[in-house]
Amino acid sequence: MSPDRVGSSVLYICGRYPELSQTFVTAEIDMVGSFGWHPIVYSLFEPSSDAPQNADIDHRRLSDRQLPSMRSLLTKATYRFPIGTARVLRYLRTSPKGQRRQRLREALTIALERRGAELDRVHAHFASHPATVAMLVGWLLDIPFSFTAHARDIFAQDIDVAAKMQAADVCVTVCNYNADFMVQRWGEPARMAIVPCGVSAHHFTRSTPYMSHPFHLVSVARLVEKKGLDLLVEACRLLRECGIDFRTTIVGEGPERERLATAINRGGLDDVITLAGAVPHSELKDLLEGATAFCLPCRVSGDGDRDSQPVVIKEAMAMEIPVVATNVFGIPEVVDGTCGVLVAPDDPAALASAICHLVESSHEDLAELGRSGRRRIMDEFTFERTIPRLIDEWGGGHPPDRSA
């Protein structure tokens, strides 16, 4: 059965689906359907947020169910797919213990439910538990297995990633920085592909003219250490001391909220910075419509976690908004001097200087930065560019293109 035919099926394994902070996963699953693939989704854990889901997607949440006993599952699996079951058990005898019993129950449950279905591939998002389950399901059903590595799953975790990189027929990640990190840490995989997360340029299109005054700085992120939002608050304090006229909106929720609120209050910035909380992804476009610039000063957190290539930066660029960000990870692969300003991480003074540079720029200069960002997104980062690349990697043994 050729994976190029219309009607090919891909079994997605996700940790949480749908998830507000992982709209790139939801969007990809929706989009592969428009390119001739039929996605079927299994999620392992309860969602941590209330996010919308495409009602047409076949989604089964294992956390809502009482899974069969291990004995029952193994008895059926040994009869239905003896070779795959033997391979799975051999791997689990030597793999890191962790939660392998639960992952095995999940994989056996999925494989038995999908037995006899015409599946071309199993694909996971994140190199952690979802990829473990996808690998086991692939072995049980004797179909190709692949996964996409993103950020925390490789920078702050190592759930037997090396074994998955070797077992996958293609190991996908979202930027060159990630690919180099993975190879340096775990060695060359059987095959590596770089497929950036895409954005909907149709949805993220301006419907009102770009406004540079009053200067409105927007940041959208989970409120966690690696996003560097405490640096943004400090940069705003420095700008306020210099008499710069601006306002800042920070959108998102997370464990850093109280700390950020305290810093805002102590800095006397309550009339300058608004913590707007989380907003549905469907409302993000309207929020970005009113931004003069977008800021995300990402950094390495204490546990080694970091961003790779934040999708929200691409969404802001699609909306023709100049970007201020840090010159690390996969961010410089998207943002350059033609569409924004990059600064060193953990340097609030440099961040304030970059923002001040944009505040003092002319309307036309800012608008041109925005237009350049939009062109960059249209050239490389729309779904129309990225989804065919992913599907092509599913269907062929092409070498990785690290120049993209």
Q: Is the pTM of this model over 0.75?
A: yes
Say if 224 falls within a structural domain. Answer: yes
Q: What pLDDT shows up at residue 282?
A: 85
Residues 221 and 138 in one domain: no
Residues 172 and 238 in one domain: no
Residues 390 and 367 in one domain: no
β-bridge partners, 145: 122
Residues 135 and 64 in one domain: yes
pLDDT digits (tens, 9 = 90+) for 323-361: 999 999 999 999 999 999 999 999 999 999 999 999 999
Residues 54 and 37 in one domain: yes
Say if 401 falls within a structural domain. Answer: no
**Is residue 198 helix, strand or coil?**
coil
Detail the DSSP E strand segments found in 63-202.
Answer: 121-125, 145-149, 170-173, 192-194
Query: Closest Cα to residue 85, out of 33, 49, 137?
Result: 137
Residues 241 and 344 in one domain: yes
Domain count, the chain: 2
Residues 241 and 108 in one domain: no
Say if 14 falls within a structural domain. Answer: yes
Say if 264 falls within a structural domain. Answer: yes
N-to-C CA span, the chain? 30
Phi, psi of 238 (to 5 degrees): -65, -40
Q: What pLDDT shows up at residue 50?
A: 75
Ranges of residues in the chain with a pLDDT under 50 are: 1-6, 397-404
Residues 61 and 88 in one domain: yes
Q: Note down the domain range covering 58.
A: 8-197+383-395
